[in-house]
A and B are shown apart, each in its own frame.
Chain A
Amino acid sequence: MKFFNLFKKELKEMLNVSTIVTMVFTVFVMIMAGDAMSGAIDEAEEESSSITICNFDDTEFTKAVLNFLENPAGGEKNEVEYVTLESDDYVSELKRLDLKNVVIIPEGFAQKVENSEQAKIIYVSRMTSLSTVSNISTGSSSAMSLIEAAVKSAFYTSKVQTGALKENEVTMLENPVEIEEHTVVADKSEKVAAALIIAATQMSQMFLPILVFVLVIYSSQMLLNAVATEKIDKTLETLLSAPVSRLTVLSAKMLAAGVVAGLNAIVYMFGMSKMTSSVSNITTDSVDGLDEILKNLGLTLSAGDYVLVGIQMFMTILITLSISLVLGALAKDTKSTQTYIMPVMIMAMIPYMLSVFVDITTLSPVLRYLVYAIPFTHTFMATQNVMFDNMTLYWAGLAYQFVLLVLCMTYAVKVFTSDRIFTMTISFGKKKKQSEEHE
């Protein structure tokens, strides 16, 4: 009985209306994020399963290979789109034809097979982001495998079964098709496999969002707790009744939180750059000149790029601080400060998860603009925008962040310089308590 009474009391304390509202809200947001991600993944999968072929080898053999590609034995029919490239300037050709990737069968393909020489096909893919899902191309991979299988089968029929197989032909049978891969990034193209680029950039792609996420949560928690603790301990009343302007108190608080968050960012960045360089060195060392290729493709950040990414990070911190200041003013007790950090956390979590897995620019318009409305999204996308030359998106994001910062800051200043800093509360369903007002 005693235990049950105690348990009931503890449960009531912990499971209050605000906790339940937070839980429901979190689940709702998670479901939304999940839907957004699955939508983007479905879309990416659909796009990735398409096969685009550019055939320069007008021979019966190649036609037979492509026929096999369209109607593989024992498999489902493949939809194949045929295009004609007018030049080997893959950047402009992919742009002109609005293609994500294309498999090129060069002239003389059949002749090489006929001569028992390794035949070559060229695979060109355009990278629009470094996210995992956006770079999957199952269609092209299976197309190349099917072409290879068709060549192998033809070779087997013509050579192996007749028993006229020479030594060099045995080696050729093992690897009948050479795949030459080209990757296009923005307006640059390099002879390199996209998979290699993804492997080399994976660490930076993973860790920069983590850094932004940590920064947002850290700076938010710091200022929110600072304001909430001062309010709860009533040291804020002491301070604001002293001969010092409220704006001075506010500026000192925000600057201190900004400095500590900035220091934290520098420490994290240093640690992570050391960690990522060690890990990515393993990848880049394994391929000659990969560093140079990444640089040529614009997939390494220059000093100017770091400044651009840094500006958005700074904006993010300032927006976080102004939002946290208002949330801190809402706090009634230490328990509520934990609840009020949730909106910031969720706002950071959605774009963080999305940016790692999907290319946000490919989300459906409604979802995309909803995600763009979250100010932190633009910072998570900053590196990608700079690397892939999406500068319109970068500047638009920065402008949006600036407008939002002005609005948030104005409201935060309004709260801090008015009665609201002492009287503001949130009530979930219940009639707003006005105990403060009646004292």
Chain B
Amino acid sequence: MEKVLEVKGLSKQYKKGVYASQDVTFDVNKGEIFALIGPNGAGKTTTIRMISTLLKATEGDAVVAGHSILTEPDKVRENITYLPDEAGAYKNMKGIDYLKFMAGIYAPDAAKAAEYVERGKEICALGDRLNDKIGGYSRGMARKLLIARAIMPQPALAIFDEPTSGLDIINALEVRRMLKDLAQKEGMSFLLSSHNMLEIEYVSDRVGIIAKGHLLEIGKPDELIKKYDAQNLEEVFERVVKQ
């Protein structure tokens, strides 16, 4: 199976000798949704930020679509999109202008950029509200716009931190379905991070349980539930962490 992401012994150590994440190893296949789950401060965001080339790894490496985050960060960025948790957009910009602005950064030419924008419009489904300034959007609308921005360039790997944060139940369900569709029908790969384990159980093909900077367990949600004789992923997490 083609691997879109290979993470090998990735660590982030700060000056005081504190590891935010340590020796994290996993991979994501093409068309797969992989989720890192864990409580706040477990090291999910640090790991994701290293893969997104925002933070430099102190040990280990990650290879995205054949490019190392250490030696080819520019190439890595051409193959990923990153959606941070609780991210905002430029409040004085109209929704449509934001899509055009981001498309201009990702697209190699104007025609491709226009194609990305059309796709973005379709994904966010904000209709005429796209002509309004983002500052006037509800949190859910802004999140939908940001998700559309992250998906429209069809990256090899889309990295979402808490993908449905700020969305109501209906919109969150829509997004989860959309992610599954994109992975299954278009072969897009996703690396998600969440502490909402029920959401992850529904949407992910495989999960990695992370706590105190260490990746403790990897597997398919149903297999892990069976392995730990649990009712759901939350119980799995509890048992893994307590071990």
Which residues of A are at the interface with B, using a C-beta cutoff of 8 A?
233-235, 237-238, 240-245, 418-419, 422-423, 434-435, 437-439
Contact = CB atoms under 8 A, between A and B. Distances in A.
Contacts of A418: 56
Contacts of B45: 439
B87 A235 contact: yes
B23 interface: no
B241 interface: no
B202 interface: no
Contacts, number: 82
A241 B76 CA distance: 9
B14 A437 contact: yes
A435 B20 CA distance: 10
A106 B90 CA distance: 76
Contact of A434 (B14, B56, B84, B105): B14
Given A422-B54, A434-B18, A241 B44 contact: no
Contacts of A437: 12, 14, 18, 20, 46
A240 B81 CA distance: 10
A141 B18 CA distance: 72
Interface in B158-180: 159
Given A238-B87, A242-B105, A422-B54, 14 more contacts: A233-B87, A234-B84, A237-B54, A241-B159, A242-B77, A242-B102, A244-B77, A245-B74, A422-B55, A434-B18, A438-B18, A438-B41, A438-B42, A439-B44
A437 B42 CA distance: 10
Given A245-B74, A422-B54, A234 B88 contact: yes
Given A234-B88, A237-B87, A242 B44 contact: no
A439 B46 contact: yes
A299 B79 CA distance: 62
B20 A238 contact: no
Contacts of A419: 54-56
Given A237-B82, A245-B74, A422 B49 contact: yes
A242 B106 contact: yes
Interface string B32-60: 00000000111111100100111110000
Contacts of A238: 82-84, 87, 102, 146, 149
B237 to A, nearest CB: 17
B54 A241 contact: yes
Contacts of B14: 423, 434, 437
Contacts of B213: 438
Contacts of A245: 74
B97 interface: no
B49 A235 contact: no
B89 A235 contact: yes
B41 A241 contact: no
A244 B105 CA distance: 7
Contact of B82 (A241, A438, A439): A241
A339 to B, nearest CB: 22
Given A234-B84, A243-B105, A439 B77 contact: no
B74 A243 contact: yes
Interface string B137-153: 00000000010010000
B156 interface: no
Contacts of B46: 437-439
B20 to A, nearest CB: 4
B58 to A, nearest CB: 10
Contacts of A241: 52-54, 77, 80-82, 159
